[in-house]
C-alpha cells in the first residue's frame, strides 16, 4: 500500500528565539517491508546549516541550525512511503523465551550485535521490581517468545486506559504501571521493559498509523498522530512488530520512521533554544492512502 504522510509541527514562543539547533527524526526508514519514494523536510525559518546523517541505529537524522530570530518554528515533513503486507508469523514456530534470553546473554560471534544491544535497559525502560511482577504472567515456562510478546501486548491493551493527560515524556514506567494510564509511548516503554526484564531483545519503534474516522464521519485534516510501538526479536522470524496501544500485530497500516532503545533515541524533534519561553506546540499529522 502507498501512503502519503504529512507531519507538521508548529512551535510558537512568547519571547523570540535568537538562535536554535535541532535534531530531527522524521524521514521514514527504508527496508525490506517499506520503501520511501519521496521525502521532503520544510523548515521555516530556513536553517543556516543542515546536516543529514545516519545515526547509530541506522535512522536518518537531520541536524539543523537556525540563526534568524523567530517567534514561530514550522517543521513540515512529507513522505510518500510504500508498505508491503506483513505475513503475521506463525506463533508456535518461535523459540521458547528462555532460549532466546540465554542465547542473547553472551555473544559468541553468531548473534548480531545490533540485536543484542536491544536487551539492555535504558533510561525510559528501567527494570524495577514492579515491571518484573507485571511481566511474569506472560512468560510461563517454555512459551514461544512471539506468543509471549503477543500476550503481553494484549494484556497492556486490555488493562490500560489511553489517556493523554495522565503522563508526560518523563513519566517513569513504574508510574504508568501504578496509574494504568498513558499514551502509546508509555505502553511501548512498558512492554519493552517487561521483555528486557526476562532477557529478550526488544526495541522501540516510532512512526505513523493509518486511522479511520468513526462510521459515517469525514476524516478530519490533521487528526492523525505520530505513533509508537515495539519490535521483538526471535531467532526464526527476526524482528516482529507488536502494537500494545491497539493490541495487534501491525500488518500494513504502520509506517516505520525510526528504531531505538526508547523514545530518547528517536524523538521526532528535539532542540536547544537560545531565548524563547513558554513554547506552545501544535502537531498536525495526516496519513492518507494514495489512490492507485
Partner 1 sequence: MSSSMLAADVGTREFAQGYRGRPGVFDELVDDSGTIRPHWQSLLRELGAIDPATLALRMEQLNVRVRETGIAYDLFSDPDSATQPWRIDLVPLIITADEWRALERAMIQRARLFERILADLYGPRNMLASGAIPHQLVFSDPSYLRPCHDLRPTRGYLQFFACDIARGHDGRWRIIDTHTETPAGVGYALANRMIHTGIAGNIFGTCGALRLVSFFQQLQASLTRRANRADPAIALLTPGQRSNDFFSHAYLARYLGLMLVEGGDLRVAAGGVSLKTLHGLMPLDLVVRCIAGAVADPLELDSTGFAGPVGLLQAVREQPDFMANALGAALAENRGLSAYLPQLAETLLGEDLLIPDGPRWWLGDAANRQHVLANLEGMVIRPAHEGTARPGRAIPGIDPVRLQRDEHDALLREIEIRGASLIAEEKVGFGTTPSLTPTGLTAKPYALRLFVTSTSKGDFAVMPGGLAMTVDPDMSVSLNAPDGESRDVWVIGDAAPPPFTTLWRPASAAARIERSPQDLPSRAADNLYWLGRYTERADWLMRKLRVCLGRLLENTAPRQELRASRIALQLPLAKDDGKVPPEWQPTDARLIEQLAHNLMTSMDWAYGLPRTLDNIHRVAGLTRDRFSPEAWHMLNDFYVSGRWRADALPSATADSLRLLDDGLRLLAAFNGLTHENVTRDFGWSFLDMGRRVQRAYGLAELLLGIFGKADSGENESGSLLFALELTDSFIAYRSRYRMASALPLLLDLLLVDETNPRSISFQLAKLADHIDALPQSGGSGARIEEQRLALSLLTDVRLADVSALAEVDAEGRRIGLQKLLGEQLEGLPRLSDVIGRRYFNLVEKDARWVRLRSREQS
Chain residues that interact with partner 1, rule: CB under 8 A:
9, 11, 15, 18, 20-23, 49, 51, 55-57, 63, 65, 105-109, 112-113, 116-117, 119-121, 127-129, 132, 164, 168-169, 183-185, 206, 209, 211, 224-228, 245, 263, 265, 267-277, 279, 281, 283, 285
Q: In what order do the strands lie in the sheet with 254-260?
A: 238-242, 226-234, 202-209, 254-260
Smallest distance, partner 1 to C-beta of residue 118, A? 9
Kindly tell me which of 91 and 181 has the beta carbon lying closer to partner 1. 181
Q: Smaller CB distance to partner 1: residue 147 or 167?
A: 167
Complex with partner 1: residue 144 or 185, whichever CB lies closer: 185
Q: Considering the complex, state which of residue 73 and residue 147 has its C-beta at the smaller distance from partner 1.
A: 73
As measured in angstroms, the least distance from the Cβ of 91 to partner 1 is 26
Q: How far is the CB of 265 from partner 1 (least distance, A)?
A: 8
C-alpha cell at 204: 522501540
Q: How far is the CB of 87 from partner 1 (least distance, A)?
A: 25
Comparison of 22 and 181: residue with beta carbon closer to partner 1: 22
Considering beta carbons, is residue 91 or 103 the nearer one to partner 1? 103
Nearest approach in angstroms of CB 56 to partner 1 is 4
Q: How far is the CB of 123 from partner 1 (least distance, A)?
A: 8
Amino acid at each position: 500500500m502507498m501512503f502519503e504522510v504529512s507531519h507538521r509541527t508548529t512551535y510558537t514562543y512568547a519571547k523570540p528565539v535568537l538562535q536554535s539547533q535541532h535534531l530531527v527524526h522524521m524521514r521514514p526508514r527504508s527496508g525490506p517491508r517499506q520503501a520511501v519514494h519521496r521525502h521532503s523536510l520544510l523548515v521555516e525559518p530556513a536553517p543556516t546549516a543542515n546536516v543529514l546523517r545516519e545515526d547509530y541505529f541506522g535512522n536518518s537524522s537531520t541536524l539543523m541550525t537556525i540563526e534568524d530570530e523567530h517567534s514561530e518554528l514550522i517543521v513540515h515533513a512529507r513522505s510518500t512511503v510504500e508498505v508491503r503486507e506483513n505475513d503475521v508469523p506463525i506463533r508456535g514456530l518461535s523459540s521458547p523465551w528462555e532460549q532466546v534470553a540465554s542465547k542473547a546473554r553472551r555473544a559468541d560471534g553468531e548473534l548480531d550485535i545490533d540485536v543484542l544491544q536491544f536487551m539492555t535497559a535504558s533510561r525510559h525502560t528501567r527494570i524495577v521490581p514492579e515491571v518484573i511482577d507485571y511481566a511474569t504472567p506472560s512468560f510461563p515456562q517454555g512459551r514461544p517468545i512471539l506468543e509471549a510478546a503477543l500476550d503481553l501486548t494484549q494484556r497492556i491493551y486490555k488493562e490500560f486506559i489511553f489517556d493523554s493527560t495522565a503522563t508526560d515524556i518523563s513519566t517513569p514506567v513504574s508510574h504508568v504501571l501504578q496509574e494504568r494510564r498513558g499514551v502509546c509511548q508509555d505502553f511501548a516503554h512498558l512492554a519493552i521493559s517487561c521483555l528486557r526484564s526476562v532477557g529478550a531483545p526488544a526495541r522501540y519503534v516510532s512512526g505513523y498509523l493509518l486511522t479511520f474516522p468513526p462510521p459515517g464521519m469525514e476524516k478530519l485534516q490533521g487528526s492523525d498522530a505520530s505513533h509508537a510501538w515495539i519490535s521483538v526479536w526471535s531467532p526464526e522470524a527476526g524482528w516482529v512488530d507488536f502494537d500494545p496501544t491497539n493490541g495487534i500485530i501491525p500488518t500494513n497500516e504502520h509506517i516505520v520512521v525510526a528504531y531505538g532503545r526508547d523514545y530518547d533515541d528517536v524523538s521526532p524533534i528535539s532542540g536547544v533554544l537560545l531565548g524563547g519561553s513558554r513554547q506552545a506546540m501544535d502537531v498536525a499529522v495526516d496519513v492518507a492512502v494514495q489512490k492507485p
